[in-house]
Amino acid sequence: MATFRIFIMLSALFLTASLSYGADLDERLKALEEVSKQQQKVIEEQQRLIEGLKQDLNKLQAGEPQKSTETQVLELKEKVDQVAEAQTRTIPSVFNPAIGFVGEAVFSYRSKGASLTGSSRPGGFDAFARSVELNAAASVDPFAKAYIVANASADAATGEATFSIEEAALQTESLPGNLTVKAGRFFGEFGRLAYIHDHELPFVNRPLVLAQYIGGESRTDGVQLNWLVPIEHYVSLTVGAGNQFGGDVPPNNVGDFRRAGGLNYWGRLSSYVDITPDISLEPGVSGLWNPKTVDRGGSFTQPDGSTLSERERRLTGVDLTLSYKPLRDNQFTSIIWGTEVLYSHNRYDEVNSDGLAFSRDIGSYGLYSYLAYKFHRQWSAGFLYGFVEDAQDNTARTYEYSPFITWSLSHWNQLRLQYTYTNHNAVSGLRPDNAVYLQWAWIIGAHSHGWQQR
Amino acid sequence: MKFKLLRIVLTLLLMTAFCLSAIPAYANKITIVTTLTDLADLARAIGGDLVEVHSLATGVEDTHGVPMKPSFVPVMNRADLLILVGLDCEHAFLPALMEASKNPRIQKGNPGYVDCSKGVVPRDVPKSTDHSEGDVHPYGNPHYMLDPVLAKTALSNIFNAMATVAPQYIAEFTSNRDAYLATLNAKIAQWETKAKVLKGVKFVSYHEHWPYFAERFGMNYFGTIELKPGIDPTARHIEELTAAMKAQHVTIVVREPQFPEKTPKRIAEQTGATLVTLPIMPGGVPNTETYIKMMDYIVNTMVAAVQAGK
């Protein structure tokens, strides 16, 4: 019995040892297989390297040049440049054409009604969405660019938005001889502020003399040629011709056949002098001439009962801008004094109260002068003085006095508060008026820093 | 009669324009206009006596606020090369001046238009150009010239442009460029040695002029006094910035000289940081007439500020 037990124990021990040895052998076998696989991979990798080296050797023997480190660096740099360039290239397409909106609202209180002030806006409290402008500009081709300014503003009578194309013009960019041609609808270059949009003026309203003699912005349908005189000093000469100029609605002399004399012709000569690095002077002279106007603005009845019909329009102007802009902190401090004197000398057909008709020339003049002081990056203040004689009756005179203060929260968000006292002499038949304006102007989208607004 | 006279005047004007424009406005020298003074210095270094260099900025202006003077127009009109920083740095004054110059040679796409940012990988390219982020530069931060290593890229671009418009002088240009590069490389090594004490030092500045400089010399650019690029700080922003500077131990306030001293000085006083005034282009402060002198001034002033604060 004891022998049987010993046998059973020895058998169990042997079986256990055998099984254990078998498992160990299996693990070792698997490990050997793994090592063999890895070695196989290494051999294959080495084989590929050998093949590659053989190919390089063959190329070298065949005289094919190898890439140096410098070449590889240059190639890498080129790739980085391409990435950087691609990064910048995507941005302009966002604004192609460059598109921006400008909005402007004017809140005001006037002490007198429209009938007593001659204003197109009512007296008392008024909120006026003066304009919303859509600006778009882009190159047409390598030779020209084009731009459009579409405007929607609230109609004074109905309050409904009226849409108009303020500007839509093509401008050459590669003419020889320092010449540029602009054609289409645009603001003709006359004076210093007439061809600047309302919201870009240094004050809320266009000076009286520009409103009366030009009719607001100097809009025209026509063509304009500008020449930069090729001398050491800056001298710019502009001449143009067009259907109408300024506030003429409809265009002048619309009829069956318009001769050259029925068009408007204008020109401007301007220059610039650096008095010191910080102080500059910009003088300019301008002229506008329509040799033959027919019913521009209709007939005007004079106080003595006679009627006037304009037959020739002549307007000349002299402007001067003196600027102090310290180079170092011009974004924080500047003083600008701008003055413009206009002389209107129109010829009229006059029919007097006795029915006799004759030709009559009426000369009248007006001016504005303003001082704007920037005392902070966000703040500026100034004063505008204006005076104008009625173009049809030079004894009727109007004066304006306007202190204003401007708060520019940023380039694109600006508030302006202005008080205006307007006075008229007895001949004008109008009453003095006190008005307070709050203008809020904003820009979204693409914006450019234009030459005119410098 | 009046129209006949008008026609004669117009014809005469046109004839005069063509005749005068045919007269070469410069003699043998290459006329170069640069927007900023650092680029003018590099152009002079390469061109030597063979070039006539005009910089629109004198050095004291803000790089984004050079006044748009009509007196720049005649010199731009006769320029062979217009050298600019690029990355929209000059957007407030250059596009209108270029148009007014009526010079096709220097318009974008022509060999005379030299954008020195070509080859520079811009930092801080904004994900959006929305104005809620201020007057952002859509192509990235344009102030790479404050990294002297990236100035070598500008140097290379200027050299290539000069060699293209005046290949007859390529030997002189090459010799001048190599000489300048040798000097600049030696100075860079010197600046890097000096600037070891700047590593990890935190600083703020008025405008975001310094990310390239900070990266080159291992500094920690903590923030700006401006609320956003081109937007003046609000009282709340100053309060938050001051608190964060105290908490994070920001030790230097940089004021660029074209910005008012009042706010940076107040922040420095409130946080115990050292206020330094650093130029952003040659001529911005006295004794910084050249690019190398300017970088010398910047590195030395920064190092002195750090050492004074210890």
**A337 vs B126 pLDDT, higher one:** A337
Contact of B119 with chain A, judged by CB distance below 8 Å, is answered with yes
Flag if A87 and B139 touch (Cβ within 8 Å): yes
Last residue of a domain, one of A36, A62, A87: A87
The DSSP call for residue A426 is: G
Residues 6 or more apart whose CB falls under 8 angstroms from that of A39 comprise: none
Flag if B101 and A228 touch (Cβ within 8 Å): yes
Distance (Å, whole) CA B296 – CA A208: 57
Contact of B2 with chain A, judged by CB distance below 8 Å, is answered with yes
For residue B271, give the H/E element and its range. Answer: helix B262-271
Averaged over A89-115, what is the pLDDT?
79
Contact of A143 with chain B, judged by CB distance below 8 Å, is answered with no
Q: Do A215 and A332 fall within a single domain?
A: yes
Contact of B199 with chain A, judged by CB distance below 8 Å, is answered with no
Q: At A309, phi and psi to the nearest 5?
A: -125, 125
**A300 vs A236 pLDDT, higher one:** A236
Q: Domain coordinates of chain B in residue numbers?
A: 24-117+131-189, 196-309
Q: What torsion, rounded to 10 degrees, do the Cα atoms A421, A425, A427, A430 define?
A: 20
Flag if B69 and A329 touch (Cβ within 8 Å): no
Q: Could you give the ipTM of this predicted complex?
A: 0.85
Q: Do A105 and A58 fall within a single domain?
A: no
Distance (Å, whole) CA B275 – CA B266: 9
Contacts with B100 from chain A: Cβ below 8 Å: 228, 451
Q: Do A301 and A154 fall within a single domain?
A: yes
Q: At B235, phi and psi to the nearest 5?
A: -60, -40
The order of strands in the sheet holding B81-84 is: B51-55, B30-34, B81-84, B113-115
Contact of B133 with chain A, judged by CB distance below 8 Å, is answered with no
Q: Do A239 and A267 fall within a single domain?
A: yes
Amino acid at B116: C
At residue B26, the pLDDT reads: 44
**Cis peptide, bond prior to residue A250, ω within 30 of zero:** yes
Q: At B46, phi and psi to the nearest 5?
A: -80, -45
In a domain, A94, yes or no: no
Query: Tens place of pLDDT for every residue, chain B, 310 residues?
Result: 455 655 655 555 555 544 444 444 445 799 999 999 999 999 999 999 999 999 999 999 998 889 999 999 999 999 999 999 999 999 999 999 999 999 999 999 899 999 999 999 999 888 777 888 888 888 899 999 999 999 999 999 999 999 999 999 999 999 999 999 999 999 999 999 999 999 999 999 999 999 999 999 999 999 999 999 888 899 999 999 999 999 999 999 999 999 999 999 999 999 999 999 999 999 999 999 999 999 999 999 999 999 887 6
Residues 6 or more apart whose CB falls under 8 angstroms from that of A350 comprise: A306, A307, A308, A357, A358, A359, A360
| CATH code, B24-117+131-189 | 3.40.50.1980
Last residue of a domain, one of A56, A87, A118: A87
Q: Do A29 and A140 fall within a single domain?
A: no
Q: Do A65 and A116 fall within a single domain?
A: no
Quickly state the pLDDT bin for A10 (edges 50, 70, 90).
Answer: low
Residues 364-423 of A with CB under 8 A from B: 377-378, 410-412
Partner residue facing A91 (CB), from B23, B25, B138: B138
- From the list B94, B124, B91, the residue with the least C-alpha distance to B34 is B94
Structure tokens at A168: 């839509």
- From the list A238, A241, A239, the residue with the least C-alpha distance to A221 is A241
Q: Do domains B24-117+131-189 and B196-309 have the same CATH topology?
A: yes
| Cα–Cα distances in angstroms (integers) from residue A336 to residues A56, A320, A321, A323, B67, in the given order | 74, 10, 7, 4, 13
Topology of domain B196-309, CATH: Rossmann fold (3.40.50)
CATH number at residue A315: 2.40.160.10
Q: Using CA of residue A64, residue A70, residue A72, residue A78, what is the dihedral sign?
A: negative
Burial B40-65 (b: 16+ CB within 10 A, else e): bbbbbbbbeebbbbebbbbbbbbbbb
**CB-defined contacts A:B, below 8 A:** 136
Q: Do A24 and A153 fall within a single domain?
A: no
Q: Do A81 and A147 fall within a single domain?
A: no
Q: Do A73 and A213 fall within a single domain?
A: no
Amino acid at A81: D
Flag if B120 and A330 touch (Cβ within 8 Å): no
Last residue of a domain, one of A61, A87, A113: A87
Contact of A94 with chain B, judged by CB distance below 8 Å, is answered with yes
Structure tokens at A123: 């007296």
Q: Do A81 and A141 fall within a single domain?
A: no
**A6 vs B18 pLDDT, higher one:** A6
Q: Do A54 and A183 fall within a single domain?
A: no
Contact of A229 with chain B, judged by CB distance below 8 Å, is answered with yes
Instruction: Say yes or no to pLDDT of A422 above 70.
Output: yes
**Residue pointed to by tokens 């004079």:** A302
pLDDT digits (tens, 9 = 90+) for A347-402: 999 888 888 888 999 999 999 999 999 999 999 999 999 999 999 889 999 999 99
Q: Which residue of B has its CA nearest to A442?
A: B131
Q: Do A217 and A339 fall within a single domain?
A: yes
Q: Is B188 helix (H, G, I), strand (E, B) or coil?
A: helix
Gap from B201 CA to chain A (nearest CA, Å):
29
What is the count of structural domains for chain A? 2
**Cis peptide, bond prior to residue B111, ω within 30 of zero:** no
Range of the domain at A279: 100-445
H-assigned helices in B23-169: 37-47, 72-77, 94-101, 148-165
In a domain, A383, yes or no: yes
